[in-house]
Amino acid sequence: MVITEYLTMMNLLKIVLILGLAYLSSKALDIGLIKPLEKKSKKRRVLIPLRRIISITIYLIAFLLILSIFNIDITSVVTALGVGAIVIGFGLKDIVSNWIAGIIIIGERIYRIDDVIRVGKETGVVTDITLRSTRLKTYDRNEVIIPNSTMLNEKVINLTSGKRESISSIIFSIDYTINLNKVKKVIESVLRKNENVIVDEKRKREIRFIVKTEEWTTKIESLFWINEPKEEEFIKSRITESVKKEFEKNNILPPLPTLMRERNLKPKK
């Protein structure tokens, strides 16, 4: 009777010890791994699924150890859990791959909330990063949800890298007979007057041009820095409107067939 009670007490102590170690291990991993990642992501809810997975795994191991205390054959239990894990794994492989990708994205800070990124054909502002997906708000105000596994497999271009400045460009097509220097001066004048365009030669924030010719067309691409990357398309739209007005004032014509060119460029009496 005494021996039985002694064994019962020992088993209870072992159970308490196992559960205590499981609790401490869960907390240690939470503090050592999850907390630092949360500071980088700035959103506690982002890593809730990972915390749950770690806790479940630790307590599952503790459960198997407790079964062994009572001399229960855990081999069959582990086998059943293994088979179940394989079945579940196949069903959840996409979710798991997204979670792993999410951890990499958050941990390595590939991009952050408020960054402007380009993924495939989509360009937008990062509004949210979770373990499963990344949300972008495009310039036409649509919200795009992209799985994190896709983000790692696609080419991601971070246009801002945490800064409130990015380079932008607009291509203008003009008739090949128009004087290039005149066109550049008009475009540069409009850009310098725009409040969203940054011109600071000390920081290499300059206005530059790339010129290409095609048949009777000359294409001038203007490269410049802007201070509101989120509003890029609207800024470019306003600049384009202003440049168009200045082109009209200065008789800078778009590409024209020969007859129309002669008529439009003919000196006015």
Q: Which fold has domain 2-108?
A: Helix Hairpins (1.10.287)
Neighbours of 72 (CB within 10 A): 12
Options 1.10.287, 2.60.40, 3.40.50, 2.30.30; CATH of 116-158: 2.30.30
Overall average pLDDT of the 10-27 stretch: 78
CATH 2.30.30 maps onto the chain at 116-158
Q: How far apart are CA 244 and CA 268, in angstroms?
A: 21
Number of other CB atoms surrounding residue 54 within 10 Å: 17
- Residue 112 token pair: 């952050």
Q: What is the pLDDT of residue 173?
A: 92
Q: Write out the residue limits of the CATH 3.30.70.100 domain(s) in the chain.
A: 166-265
pLDDT digits (tens, 9 = 90+) for 225-243: 998 888 888 999 999 999 9
pTM above 0.85, yes or no: no
pLDDT (mean) for 200-205: 84
Residues forming CATH 1.10.287.1260 domain(s) in the chain: 2-108
In contact, 154 and 119? CB cutoff 8 Å: yes
Task: Inform me whether the pLDDT recorded for 142 exceeds 60.
Answer: yes
Determine the angle formed by the axes of helices 2-29 and 48-69, rounding to 10 degrees: 160
Amino acid at 262: E
Q: In whole angstroms, give the CA distance from residue 94 to residue 162.
A: 29
Topology given in CATH for the domain delimited by 166-265:
Alpha-Beta Plaits (3.30.70)
Least confident of 81-85, 195-199, 202-206, 211-215: 81-85
The DSSP call for residue 204 is T
Contact status, residue 102 vs residue 129, Cβ threshold 8 Å:
yes
Residues of the chain above pLDDT 70, percent: 72
Which tokens in the block code for residue 240?
């384009």
